[in-house]
Structure 1
Amino acid sequence: MSAASQAASTGTITFNGELTASTCDVIVDGQAADATVVLPTVSTNQLKTAAQVAGRTGFNMALTNCTGTLKTAAAFFEAGATVDTVNGRLKNTTTGGATNVSLQLLDGANSSVIQAGNQNQITKNTYASVATGSATLPYAVQYYAEGATTAGLVKSSVVYSIMYK
């Protein structure tokens, strides 16, 4: 390889970021930062074929005591052991529970699908103003059929963090 071709393949990448000591307190559906959202019991007849959804259940993240120069906030749902890395849906973690079903997260402001762990949440999720010191972030969760479902319990979880702009 010549020196000219080596030089042409080099460059510099600069990364910029910001850390803030200012954050908001989070309360999910009147509970705490860690909370449980209960979906309704639905019939497997509503989830007979792949991509059918049922049992949409809204939940709110209340942000309070937001301090400093924070302008807007949204939740980022993290990847993890309970998240399908291909589609961002939450896996049913119940041993012996319902089969062929996952949980799908939605942005409550515009009903768009949220893929947990996917970086597109940074630009896709709806941000709420926290300029007054508080805000409500609406989200939803629903059953999602991966195929013909069988009856049983469904349970999953997801870790979130609050993103600020």
Structure 2
Amino acid sequence: MKLNKLILVASLSLALPVAALAAPTVTFQGEVTDQTCKASINGQTDSTVLLPTVPSAELSAAGMKTGLTPFSISVEDCQVDTADVEIATKFLGHNVTATGNLGNIAEANAAQNVSIQLTTDAAGQTPVELNGVTAVNGLVLNAGETSATHQFGAQYYAEDAATAGAVTAVAEYTLSYN
């Protein structure tokens, strides 16, 4: 009986390191900066950018784009600096497609083969190709100023011939002061 208990204790002690190695982890990330500001999209911390309703015929083939909608990212209540401060907007897309766009996550009556493409400005000429955390320049806090705004764009993008339905896409954003 004493030998059985000894074997049981020895067996359990061998299993403990394996259990410790399989434990979940948590990663903490952050940034320390000399500059902090209040950030907003179209004047709000969390915002929904409403794109226009468009006919599926405007997205009938892969690569077609339509419904360009400008949105602004602003900072205010910043500390005054004696030099211009470039602020990178970092986007982290959810459900990113192979083309680097925000995939459609609409749950009910979802349009097929449609994504949302972000652009570096309101003109929509330069797409933001999302790949992990993607930094986009353009927001500049000019020397002596306490606020700044930069306009980006969002538009529908046909991954293939689109079908009619709802489109919802999500991206997180942070600002990095250079």
Instruction: Tell me if both proteins adopt one fold, taking TM over 0.5 as the criterion.
Output: yes
One-letter amino acid matched to 1:104: Q
The corresponding residue for 2:17 is none
Q: Counterpart of 1:94? A: 106
User: What is the match of residue 150 of structure 2?
Assistant: 137
CA distance in 2: counterparts of 1:91 and 1:145, whole angstroms: 11
Residues 144 and 109 (structure 1 numbering): CA distance in 2 closer, same or farther, change over 3 Å?
closer
Check if 1:53 corresponds to 2:65: yes
- Say yes or no: does 1:44 pair with 2:56: yes
Q: Does 1:153 align with 2:166?
A: yes
Alignment-mate amino acid for residue 55 of structure 2:
S
- Contact 1:109-1:126 at 8 Å conserved across structures: no
- Which one of 96, 104, 109 corresponds to residue 83 of structure 1? 96
Kindly name which structure, 1 or 2, has the bigger radius of gyration based on alpha carbons: 2
Q: TM-score, normalised by structure 1?
A: 0.77
Q: Percent identity?
A: 34
Pick the aligned partner of 1:20 from 15, 18, 33.
Answer: 33
Question: 1:97-125 CA distances to partner (integer Å, 9 max, x unpaired)?
Answer: 10000000001167311122356x54x63
Q: Give the corresponding residue for 2:85.
A: 71
Does the CA-based 8 Å contact 1:60-1:138 persist in structure 2? yes
Structure with a larger share of its residues in helix? 2
Task: For structure 1, list consecutive stretches of 5 or more residues without a partner in the other structure.
Answer: 1-17
Query: How many aligned residue pairs are there?
Result: 143
- Which residue in 2 is equivalent to 1:117? 131
How far 1:157 sits from its partner (Å)? 0.8
**Contact 1:66 1:130 (C-alpha < 8 Å) held by counterparts:** no
* Aligned residues of 1:129 and 1:135 also touching (Cα < 8 A): yes
Q: Does 1:128 align with 2:128?
A: no
> Match of 1:73, as an amino acid?
I
Structure 1: 4+ residue segments shifted above 6 A: none
